[in-house]
Structure 1
Amino acid sequence: MVQSTRITSIAVLALVAAMLPPACSSSGSGPGDDGPPIEVCERTSDDASTEFLKRVGCAEDFEALASAPIDASLPGARSVKIVLDQADQNALYFQNSVLYRIHYDFVSSHLSGDGLPFVPPLGEFNATEYFTPDRRFVLGAVTHYEGPDVWALELSPYDTASADMITALFKAVQGASFFGAKLAFHPTSESVAIEAQKLPGGVPVVSTGDLYAGIDYQPLSLGTAVGRLRFVRAAALDSEYLSHQDIVVLDQAPNDISVVQGIITEEFQTPLSHVNVLSQNRRTPNMGLRNAMSHPDLLALKDKLVELTAGASSWSVREVTEAEAEAFWEAHKPVPVTLPPLDLTATELLDLEEVTPDPADGESLRDTLKKAVLAYGGKAAHYSILARMPEIPILKAFAIPVYYYDQFMQQNGFYDRIEALLEDPEFKTDPAVRDRELKALRDAMKDAPLDADFQALLQAKIEADYPGFKMRFRTSTNSEDLEGFPCAGCYDSHTGDPADWEDVADAIRKTYASAWKLRTFDERTYYGIDHRSLGMALLVHHNFPNEEANGVAVTNNPFDPSGLQPAFYVNVQKGGSVEVVAPPPGVTNDAFLHFFNQPNQPVTYLTHSSLVPEGQTVLTPAQVHQLGVALDAIHDRFSPAYGPASGNSGWYAMDVEFKFDDDENPGEPPALFIKQARPYPGRGAASEAP
C-alpha cells in the first residue's frame, strides 16, 4: 500500500513545482527568471499531420499531438504518448497520439532500422518493452488534467519500469517541455505506486485521489437531452413527482428515480449506480457536477426548457424554445418494447441448474436464455448459467415460475383492477392519482391470500433442501435484467423465515407487489410495455445474514470504449449494511480497475472506502484475484449471448453483483459468492459538448 507521505497533494505539488529549477529548454524561462516559461512553439506549420516532436514548446504543440486518454476514468484530460529510446542516447519523442494510438504503431514506423535496432513483432514488443529490465524503450504518456491543472507523467498500469527508468523519463520530459516545472509523476496502479516510493525527491508524485478531488465534472452516461430543468433534493423524491420531460438537478444520487430526460448530481456517482444504469439504458445524459445546486449557469435556467449535453470531457446547457423541445421529444421517443407471451406451462420449482438448459443443436445461448425468461424471468435465467459453471461460486438456489404470480393475480382479481386503472384517464395523466392508486393496489396485494397448494409445494421444497435457513425471495421478471432493458432497481426483494410461515408468505406478497411501484410502472409505460404482459418469477436462496463485503463489478473497462485498455471495474464496500451503488452522503467505496489479463494483474484504485482504516482496502489481493477469475469466466461465458462470440462487434460487458461471506465457514477467510449477472448497457455516446 502506498504510504501517504509519498503522495503529494495538488496544493503541495504546486509549491514543489514553483521551487523546481527551470527546465533546460529553449522554451523555458532563462536562469534567474522568476516569470512564467516563455513558450516557443516547435511546429513550423498548423498542419495536423505532424507525426512527432522532440520537444513540446507551447500549448499549441501539445494540442497538435494530443488525444483523449485511452482510459478516461478522470475526465477533462488530454494526453500525448512519449517514447524514450535508450538505444539512441535516450532520445525522446512526443508522438502524435491521434495518428498513432499505441506506442508500437509509432516506434515500428519511425524507430525501426535505418541505423537503429529493428523493432520486433507486436507480441514480442509487448512482452519486453513494458516488463523487462533491459528493455530498449521507456514508454509513457503526459496527460494534462484540466480540472486540477496538473501535468502528469504516467506509465501503463502494468508497466514494471524501475524508479531509475521513471526518473530518466521524467527528467527528459521535464527538460523538453514548456510545462516541465509543473510536471509530476502519477502512479496508475498500486504496483506502480510502490515503485514510485523509490523516486528521488526531485520527482513529485500525485495520486489518483488528488486528481479526482480536483475535478468538478464527472461524465457518466453521455448524450444530449431536452427537458425542463428542475432542482430537487434526493430526499424529497418520494413526494416530488417528476415528468419524463424533466432534466433534474439533485444534491446526491438517489438509489431510484422515475423516468427523466437527464440527471445532474452535485455529489459524484459510481458508474454502477442504479440511476446510471437506467440512464445508459434510456440513452439519456447523466453527470456529476460539484456545487450543481448552486451553479450559476444552471440556476439561471431553473424551471426553463433547456438542452443538456454531457460529453466525455465537458458539458453544456442552453435554453430552447417550446417548439425545439417538442421536436426533440418526438424524434427521441423510445422504440416500444414488446414482451413475448409468458410461458404458463411451467409449474415446477426448479433447482437453478435446470432453469436454462444448454443450447440444443442449432440454437444459440441467447435463444435459450430468451426461452427461460418466459417461464422463470431474467434473473433466474442468467443465474442458471452461472450455476453450471464450476469456477463460479454461487449459493444453492431454486426458482419459482411466473405461473404462481399469474395464479395469485388471477385468484385475487388484481388483473381486473389493473385493467380498470389503465382505462382511467385521471390515472393516466395525473402522477399523484397514479401514485395513490398503485399504493392501494400494492397494499391489497400484501394482504391477499396465496394459493394453498402452492404454499404446500413451496414449504416442502424449503424443508427438504434448506432446513433452518431464512430465505431470500428475489424478483426475476420478464422485464428486468434483459439486454436493452435491465430496469435496474425496478423491483424489491424480501426475506422470510420459514420458522414463521406467514413471514414467508408476506415476503412473497411484498415482492410480487413491488411490480406495481410508481417508478417501475412509469418506466414500463415510457418504453411502451404492456403492463398486462408482466410476469414475475422468484429466485430463492438462503439469506446472507452478515456478509463481510458486498459489491458490483463490470467485466469491461467503462472508461475505455476503444477496448485498448481492458479491465474489470469494481465497486466494493465493507459489510452489507451500506448500499454500494448509492452510498449515504459522505460515505465512499473502494472503486478500482483490475487489469486482470495483463501481466502482474495490476489494480488502479480510483477511490477508497471510508469504512476501513486509511491505508487499507476492503478486499485482500487474494480476494481481488479470486473475483477477477470469476469475472473473467462470466465475461467469456456470456459472450455467445451478448458479446463478440455472438457477432457483437461493439463494447460488451456483464454487470455482476457479488458478496464475500464467511457464514458457511466461520473463522475462515470470507468466500466469494456471485449473486447476479446481467448485460451491462454501456456508457452511451455523444459528441463533445462545446
Structure 2
Amino acid sequence: MTGFLARTTSASSPIAMADDVVSDIAPSLSFLRAPTSAPGSLPLAVAEIDSADTFDAVSTDAGDLVASGRAAKFLIDRRDPSALSPRFVNGNFLRDGVVPDEAKFHYPFGRVTFRIPESLDMFNAVTYFTLDKRYIAGTLRTYHLDGSQDPVYGLQFYPQDLIRERAVVEAVGAIKTRVGIGGARFAFVPTASQQTTAMVTGELAALGIEVLPIDRILGAIQYLPLNLGEAWGYLRVFPSDNNALTPSDIPVFDELPLDLSVVAGVLTRAVQDTNSHVNLKSKERRTPNAVLRNAGPDNPRLAPFADQPVHLVVGRDDFTLDRTTPEIIAAKLAERMGRPLIRLEWLPETELRSYDEIAAGTTREARGSAARYGSKAANLGFLAHRGVLGRVADVGSPSAERGYELVPRGFAVPLQAYRDFIEHPPNADVRSMIEAFVAAEQTGELSPQQRTERVDDIRSAIMAASFPPGALERVRSKLDEVLPDVEKVKVRSSANAEDIPDFDGAGLHDSYSANTTKRDRPMGPCLVEEDDADDGDVKRKVKPKSVGCAIKGVYASLWNKRAVEERSFARIDQDSVAMGLAIVPAYDAESDVAANAVVVTRVLNTDGVYGYSVSAQQGNNLVTNPNPGTYSEITIAAFISDDEPTSLTVTRFAKPTADAPERTEPVLPSERMLELVDLAKQVERAYCRATPGYYPDCDFAPAANDKDTALDLEVKVLEDGHLVYKQVREFGGR
C-alpha cells in the first residue's frame, strides 16, 4: 500500500519526471531477468519471487495499517488483458547510492518499467479509482499471526482502491503464480469495505488464497508496536502500586491504566485505544509503547528481567530487552531532565468573553486569544468562527447547512482570574504551598509519595479557598448573558499548559458538571468525590454541585499529580502555569449521547497511508478515557483529495462494555463517518490558514502525511443526530 503517490507540486517529484530521464533509465534495466541467488544483483523490476530470501531482498519495512512486517510492491499492466505482465518493485534498488522514486512508488516505477504514458492524476484515476482498470497496483506483505514464525503473505491494495470480486481474483492469481516460496500461506487482505470478495470466495479458495480482513489480522498478531523507540529503566511486571511508578520505570500492565504517571516506556497485555489520551501522550513525549498479548509475570522473555535495570527497544517486528546498569538509567534520565526550563508566557485579561466574541475577528485572532484564555477556550472560539464551523446564522457555514450549532455556546474565563484567585490575600497559605512545592519539585528530589502528599494538600487548600470580591458574580452574570435558562453546565479546563506545541496536556486536568441553580456555601470547603454513576465524561464530581465549586475543582486539577509529572518531564516551569476555563452547556442537555468520536488528522503509526484516524465508541463511554475492559472502534479514513472517494477501513470493532462481546458492526453508519471526516478537513484547512507554519499548502494539508503536527478533534454524537464539537487541539505525535 505504500506505493500510492499523492499529487505534489515538488519539482523533484515523479510527476515532473521528464521523458528523456525515463529513456536514459529504461535501457539499463534488465527487468525481465529472473532473480538470482545474489540479492544485491537484483534489478529494479523483478519478474518473480522464487524464495523467501528474494522476498527479503526486494521488500522493505511495511508502512501501512499494521506497523510490523515487510512489504514488496507490485504493478500489473492490463493494457493487453491477454498478456498480463506483473512486476515486483525492488524497494532496495539503488542508483548513485540512493533509492530512487521508481523504487518507492508505483507511478514512477510504471513510467520506467512499462513506459506508461499517463500523467500522475490519470494514472491514479485508471489504477485506483475505477473498476475498469488499466493497471493494478498492490503490495505483497508479511504478517506473523498467532505467534507463528512462518509468515502469512498478504496480497492487498491501497484502501481507496475500488478493486473487488473478479478483479481481485485476477490480480492475486497473477501475483501468486509469480511467487515460488515453498509451503507459503497466502491471503487476500481487504483494506476497505468496497474491496469485496463475496461472489468469488470459491475461486480464491481454489487458488489457495484465504480472505483475512485487517481487524482479524490485528486480532491475531501477538506483538503490536504503538510507538517505536527505546528506553532505559527498571522493568516492573504488573506493578501493584501505579502511584509509585517513576520516569525511571518501564511497567508491564495487564490493561493500560487511565491515570498513568510519566514512565520511561510501557508494555500491555490488553489492546490499547490508539486515540486514548495515554497513547497519544506516549507518542508526543516519544516514549516507547507496545502491546504484547502474552505479557505477564510468567512470560519467559520478561520474567528474568523483573525489577532489573533494562534497556527496552520497541521495534516494528519485535521488542528487545537487555540488561543495563542503574548508572546508565540515571544518566539517561538526567540527560532528559537537564534541559532548560520552559517558561510559559501569557497575557493578563479581565474580560470574560463568549466564544462568539472570540470569533468576531479573524481566525488567526481567535487562535491568538489562547494567550489570554488558554487554548481550549480559544479553540472553541476558533471552531465557532464563521470561516470554520460557524453558527446557524452564518450563511454557508457547516452549522447553517445542518440547521443546528456544531459548536456549543458558552464563554471563556481568562487565565488571570486563576492568578487573582491564588493571590487573593485570604488565600496566602495556598500561594505559599504552591511556591514551596514548585521549588521542591524543580530540584527533582521529591519521591512519588512526597509529590502525591504535597499536591493533595494543595488541591484541598484550593477547594477551601475563597474567591476575590466580585469574581464569582461576574461568572454568574456571564452565564445569565450567554447561557440564559441553562441549568446544567460543564466547567472545563483551559490551562496555558495544555494544547500547546509539543505538549497537548490531554487528560491531565479535570472537568466538572455544575447546576446553575445551586448556590455556593458561604462557609466550608467544596469537596471532590468519585462519581459512581457512569456518565462517561466526568470521572469525579464536586459537592455541592455549584458553579463556584466546579471552578475550584478545575483550578485544583492544575495540581493533579499526573499534570505536575508531565510538566516536569516536558521541562515546563511550574511557576508559570495558570488555569483558564471553558464553560459550556452539558452535552446531553438537548439529547442523550449516542456515541463519542475522536478524529486525528493523520493515519497514526504509518507514513504510507494518506488520510485520518477515526475512533468511535457507543454511548457515552469515552474514546479518550475508556472505562476498564472496554475499547473503541478504530477506522482509517483514506483519501487524497475532495474529488476522489474516501475509503473506510475498520481495523478494530468497539467493545462498549466490559461484560459484553466486541461489536461486529461499526458504531456509526458510513455516512456519519464520512461527515466527520469532511468536517475535520474543513477545520484543518482553516486551522492551517490561521496558524503560520502549520503546513505550506493548506489546501493539501488534510492529505499530507509529512506535516509536523496534526489535529485532534473530540466530538459527541447525540441521539437526535446532532454533532457537538468538544474541542480541537494540535497533536505532535505520529
Normalised TM-score (structure 1): 0.84
Letter in 1 for 2:231: A
SS at match of 2:593: coil
CA distance in 2, matches of 1:123, 1:451: 63
Shift of 1:436: 1.5
The residue that corresponds to 1:218 in the other structure is 224
The residue that corresponds to 2:77 in the other structure is 85
Query: Residues 9-158 of structure 1: matches in 2 within 5 Å?
Result: 42-47=35-40, 49-71=42-64, 73-88=65-80, 89-99=83-93, 100-112=103-115, 118-148=116-146, 149-158=151-160
1:682 equivalent in alignment to 2:716? no
Alignment match of 1:485 (pick from 503, 518, 527)? 503
CA distance in 2, matches of 1:671, 1:318: 52
CA distance in 1, matches of 2:582, 2:137: 50
1:334–1:527 contact (8 Å) kept in structure 2: no
1:350–1:400 contact (8 Å) kept in structure 2: yes
Letter in 2 for 1:635: E
Alignment match of 1:384 (pick from 381, 386, 389)? 381
Shift of 1:181: 5.7
1:227 equivalent in alignment to 2:233? yes
The residue that corresponds to 2:528 in the other structure is none
Letter in 2 for 1:223: G
Q: Which moved more, 1:172-181 or 1:290-299?
A: 172-181
Letter in 2 for 1:638: Y
Aligned-residue CA RMSD in angstroms?
Answer: 2.5
The residue that corresponds to 1:495 in the other structure is 513
SS at match of 1:638: helix
CA distance in 2, matches of 1:280, 1:594: 20
Alignment match of 1:557 (pick from 603, 607, 610)? 603
1:403 equivalent in alignment to 2:420? no
1:253–1:582 contact (8 Å) kept in structure 2: no
Shift of 1:334: 6.4
CA distance in 2, matches of 1:306, 1:550: 39
Alignment match of 2:494 (pick from 467, 473, 476)? 476
Shift of 1:44: 4.4
Alignment match of 2:286 (pick from 283, 286, 302)? 283
CA distance in 1, matches of 2:709, 2:42: 33
Deviations 1:63-110 (A, max 9, x none): 111122331x22322111122222340122122134522211211101
1:620 equivalent in alignment to 2:617? no
Deviations 1:325-346 (A, max 9, x none): 33333433364442344322x1
The residue that corresponds to 2:650 in the other structure is 605
SS at match of 2:258: coil
CA distance in 1, matches of 2:226, 2:153: 24
CA distance in 2, matches of 1:622, 1:615: 18
SS at match of 1:468: coil
1:323 equivalent in alignment to 2:295? no
The residue that corresponds to 2:342 in the other structure is 338
Shift of 1:498: 0.3
> CA 1:266–1:181 in 2, change beyond 3 Å: closer, same or farther?
closer
Deviations 1:584-640 (A, max 9, x none): 444232110012445321100001123498543211122112101111112212224
1:308 equivalent in alignment to 2:308? no
CA distance in 2, matches of 1:291, 1:480: 35
1:343–1:375 contact (8 Å) kept in structure 2: yes
CA distance in 1, matches of 2:203, 2:184: 11
The residue that corresponds to 2:174 in the other structure is 172
The residue that corresponds to 1:20 in the other structure is none
Shift of 1:537: 0.6
The residue that corresponds to 1:35 in the other structure is none
> CA 1:321–1:615 in 2, change beyond 3 Å: closer, same or farther?
closer
Alignment match of 2:562 (pick from 519, 528, 532)? 519
> CA 1:462–1:226 in 2, change beyond 3 Å: closer, same or farther?
same
SS at match of 1:675: strand
1:415 equivalent in alignment to 2:460? no
The residue that corresponds to 2:527 in the other structure is none
Deviations 1:37-59 (A, max 9, x none): xxxx9324231652122221100
1:560–1:566 contact (8 Å) kept in structure 2: no
CA distance in 1, matches of 2:548, 2:189: 55
1:594–1:604 contact (8 Å) kept in structure 2: yes
Q: What runs of 5+ residues in structure 1 fail to find an aligned partner?
A: 1-40, 113-117, 663-667, 684-690
Query: Residues 254-265 of structure 1: matches in 2 within 5 Å?
Result: 254-265=257-268
CA distance in 1, matches of 2:440, 2:613: 45
Count of paired positions: 616
Shift of 1:357: 6.8
Alignment match of 1:532 (pick from 572, 575, 591)? 575
SS at match of 1:87: coil
CA distance in 1, matches of 2:41, 2:512: 59
CA distance in 1, matches of 2:198, 2:260: 44
CA distance in 2, matches of 1:417, 1:614: 49
Letter in 2 for 1:217: Y
Letter in 1 for 2:595: A
Query: Residues 228-247 of structure 1: matches in 2 within 5 Å?
Result: 228-233=234-239, 236-237=241-242, 240-247=243-250
> CA 1:434–1:86 in 2, change beyond 3 Å: closer, same or farther?
closer
CA distance in 1, matches of 2:472, 2:252: 46
Query: Residues 435-514 of structure 1: matches in 2 within 5 Å?
Result: 435-466=452-483, 467-502=485-520, 503-514=546-557
CA distance in 2, matches of 1:581, 1:671: 20
Alignment match of 1:373 (pick from 364, 370, 385)? 370
2:63–2:606 contact (8 Å) kept in structure 1: yes
CA distance in 2, matches of 1:219, 1:318: 18
1:588–1:607 contact (8 Å) kept in structure 2: no
> CA 1:337–1:357 in 2, change beyond 3 Å: closer, same or farther?
farther
Letter in 1 for 2:713: V
SS at match of 1:158: coil
SS at match of 1:594: strand
Alignment match of 2:615 (pick from 571, 578, 582)? 571
1:292 equivalent in alignment to 2:295? yes
The residue that corresponds to 1:28 in the other structure is none
SS at match of 2:598: strand
CA distance in 1, matches of 2:129, 2:57: 30
Normalised TM-score (structure 2): 0.79
The residue that corresponds to 1:29 in the other structure is none
CA distance in 1, matches of 2:340, 2:722: 42
CA distance in 2, matches of 1:614, 1:342: 46
Letter in 2 for 1:164: R
CA distance in 2, matches of 1:572, 1:386: 21
SS at match of 2:139: strand
Q: Which moved more, 1:54-63 or 1:375-384?
A: 375-384
SS at match of 2:302: helix
Letter in 1 for 2:211: V
Query: Identity over the aligned pairs, expressed in percent?
Result: 26
The residue that corresponds to 1:115 in the other structure is none
Letter in 2 for 1:322: P
SS at match of 1:97: coil
1:634 equivalent in alignment to 2:683? yes
SS at match of 1:558: coil
Alignment match of 1:645 (pick from 696, 708, 728)? 696
Query: Residues 538-549 of structure 1: matches in 2 within 5 Å?
Result: 538-545=581-588, 546-549=592-595
CA distance in 2, matches of 1:460, 1:357: 21
SS at match of 2:194: helix
Shift of 1:173: 1.9
CA distance in 2, matches of 1:568, 1:657: 13
2:411–2:482 contact (8 Å) kept in structure 1: no
Shift of 1:482: 0.8
The residue that corresponds to 1:352 in the other structure is 355
Letter in 1 for 2:670: P
CA distance in 1, matches of 2:305, 2:41: 38
